[in-house]
Amino acid sequence: MTNIEILEIDEIVVETPTIKTFFFDWHFDIEPGQFVMIWVPGVDEMPMSLSYIYDKRGITVRNVGEGTKALHSMEPGDRIGIRGPYGNGYEIKGEKILAVVGGIGGASVLPAVEKASRENIEVDCALGAKTQKELLFLDRLYDLTNLKVATDDGSMGHPGFATDICEEMMKGVDMVITCGPEPMMKRIVQMAIHKGVPIQASLERYLKCGLGLCGSCVIDGERVCVEGPVFTGEELNNFEEFGKYDRDSSGRKKPLERPKQTY
């Protein structure tokens, strides 16, 4: 017996030109921010946040590599494997929170926004993407939050980055949650610490086993797959590698080279 459960994909929704959501029937208890390992049989296995955890369950995936390409070519009725959930989740506190979401980061943040909304916590949201067509979960966030949008090319909302608009939005909130490109999160964490607002951010690293053993996802000695993926501002502030380095499949340190912020 292994703990991999095989599921059929029930429904596929095209979210943006590069992002699709895959819905399936899976009943494990899960907290917003936790992740699962998705097996594309015969191709790859990848960590994925559950982007839907309430009325239906799903993962939202950007087509970036061999495994995600294989997933994007699947159709309803095709089979995937799932194991988990793994890692920790967001711990939502207070009466009003701010969610800062960049690119594919909405896949991790949306369930936390939904949970907050169900608990009558007011949510403000700054959503950023390269361009209007790549804004993920625009409708979901419009319904659930006080939403402000930023696009790099100015095709919708503020012309520029989500970081430009969120400083002002931090006033009067009890906490901030964020998921997006790491340079964006680094700036937001610095801003929040400067303003004394608690913050939690979900990190991404090259993740292999998901069980806290292989060490490939380690940042400053902490395992993104067990102690993370969500870390607090205090933890992140003590990490030397946060916003500076990640590691490739062989474990070599790579600078997070992002001359311009991208999603």
Partner 1 sequence: MAVLKTKIASMRFDPPVILASGVMGQTSSSMLKMHEYGMGGIVTKSIGLEPRAGHPNPTMVELDTGLLNAMGLPNPGIEDFLPELKSLISKVDIPIIASIFGSNREEFIDLAGKMEANGVDAIELNLSCPHAEGYGASIGSNPDLSGDVVDGVVSVTDVPILAKLPPLSDVSVTAKSVEHEGADAIVAINTVKAMALNFETRLPILGNRYGGYSGPGIKPVGLRCVYELFEAVDIPIIGCGGITRGRDALEYILAGASALQVGSAVYYRGREAAKLISEEMIDLMDEQDIKDIHSLIGAAHRC
Binding interface with partner 1 (CB under 8 A): 1-4, 6, 37, 39, 41-46, 67, 79, 81, 83, 208-216, 218, 220-223, 247-253
Please say whether the beta carbons of 208 and 216 come within 8 A.
yes
Nearest approach, Cβ of 167 to partner 1 (angstroms)?
Answer: 31
Alpha carbon separation from 42 to 45, 66, 129, 255 (Å, rounded) = 9, 11, 32, 31
Q: Are 138 and 213 within 8 A, CB to CB? A: no
CB of 225 to partner 1, least distance (A): 11
Q: Which is nearer to partner 1, 12 or 226 (CB)?
A: 226
Separation in Å, CA 116 to CA 85, 233, 245: 20, 20, 32
Helix (H) / strand (E) containing 109: helix 106-118
Q: What are phi and psi of 67, to 5 degrees?
A: -65, -45
Q: Which one, 137 or 231, has the nearer CB to partner 1? A: 231
Reduce the DSSP state of residue 14 to 3 states and report it.
Answer: strand
Distance of closest approach, residue 39 Cβ to partner 1, in angstroms: 6
CB of 46 to partner 1, least distance (A): 7
Torsion angle of C-alpha atoms 11, 115, 226, 166, degrees rounded to 10: 100
Closest separation in Å from C-beta 253 to partner 1: 7
Residue 184 CB, shortest distance to partner 1, in Å, is 24
Residue 2 vs 120, nearer CB to partner 1: 2
Q: Find where tokens 């806290």 sit.
A: 212
Tell me whether residue 43 or residue 64 sits nearer to partner 1 (CB atom).
Answer: 43
Q: How far apart are the first and last CA of the chain?
A: 40
Tell me how far apart the alpha carbons of residues 122 and 92 are, in angstroms, rounded to a whole number.
11
Task: For the CB of residue 90, give the shortest distance to partner 1 in the complex, in Å.
Answer: 22
Distance CA 88, CA 76 (A): 30
Residue 17 or 221: the one with the smaller Cβ distance to partner 1 is: 221
Nearer to partner 1, 193 or 245 (CB): 245
Closer Cβ to partner 1, 64 or 211, answer by number: 211
